[in-house]
Structure 1
Amino acid sequence: MTKSELIESLVRKQSQLGYRDVELAVKTMLEHMAQTLASGERIEIRGFGSFSLHYRPPRVGRNPKSGEPVSLPSKYVPHFKPGKELRDRVNTGAANAHEIKAVRTGTDPGEDSSGASYE
């Protein structure tokens, strides 16, 4: 789902709110979250998950084209850790979607189309 799809979905579900109001709210929230992470703070949304920064130390990488070693500087990368409620909801939803797909295609719910097992 893209940002614009999220905005459109929220407008459909909350018909009393205008598109511009929802768009402003979503953009403001995302900008504030980005600023909070950029300042080194952690974000925790109970039941959903937490956003934090993980440190990556400097390392030597390789140029894929030439194979030459390249020095890569240290950096911080955003990290999302889903909360228990979100994990449970995703697993329940994914299992249900997988079973529905299996019924439609006539395959075993424990396998995907490549034959890989999920059990």
Structure 2
Amino acid sequence: MNKSEIVAAIADGLEVTRKDAERAVDTVFKMIGEALADGDKVVISGFGTFEVRTRVAREGRNPRTGEIVEVPAQKTPAFKAGKVLKDAVNK
């Protein structure tokens, strides 16, 4: 399922226009992104948790030359599924 399919399902389920549904979806994604950028955790009960995790700096290897390169530390978004979502997937 992609974003346009989500928008269509919301529009049909709530009986609103696709434009309104798309604005709602965009707003939710924007708010999650902004919260993660601020370092906050986003918890959606029954669905899961979005958070920012920090990867430590490490040594990597250039596969073409074999040269060792330093890979800097970085922040990355992560998602952990909640129990209800896990149970729904494993039915």
- Counterparts of residues 10-49 of structure 1 (less than 5 Å): 10-14=10-14, 16-49=15-48
Distance in 2 separating the partners of 1:2 and 1:70? 36
Deviation, structure 1 residue 51: 0.7
Determine the C-alpha separation between the residues in 2 that align with 1:13 and 1:33: 22
Q: Secondary structure at the match of 1:50?
A: strand
Equivalent AA in structure 1 for residue 50 of structure 2? F
* 1:48-74: CA deviation from partner (whole Å, max 9, x where unpaired): 110111111111111122221111110
Aligned length: 91
CA distance in 1, matches of 2:41, 2:34: 11
Unaligned ranges ≥5, structure 2 = none
- RMSD over equivalenced CA pairs, Å: 1.0
In the alignment, what sits opposite 1:91?
90
TM-score (norm 1): 0.72
> What code does the residue aligned with 1:8 have?
A
Q: Which runs of 5+ in 1 are unaligned?
A: 93-119
TM-score by length of 2: 0.93
Q: Which of the pair has more CA radius of gyration?
A: 1
The 5-angstrom pairing of residues 98-109 of structure 1 reads: none
Post-superposition offset of 1:76:
1.1
Higher relative contact order (CA 8 A, sep 6+): 2
Query: SS where residue 90 of structure 2 aligns?
Result: helix
**Inter-partner Cα distance in structure 2 for 1:67 and 1:18:** 55
Identity within the alignment, %: 40
Letter of the aligned partner of 1:23 in structure 2? E
CA–CA distance in 2 between the matches of 1:34 and 1:26? 12
Q: Which runs of 4+ in 1 moved over 3 A?
A: none
**Higher mean C-alpha deviation, range 18-27 or range 63-72:** 63-72
**Offset, 1:9:** 2.0
Give the CA deviation at 1:75: 0.7
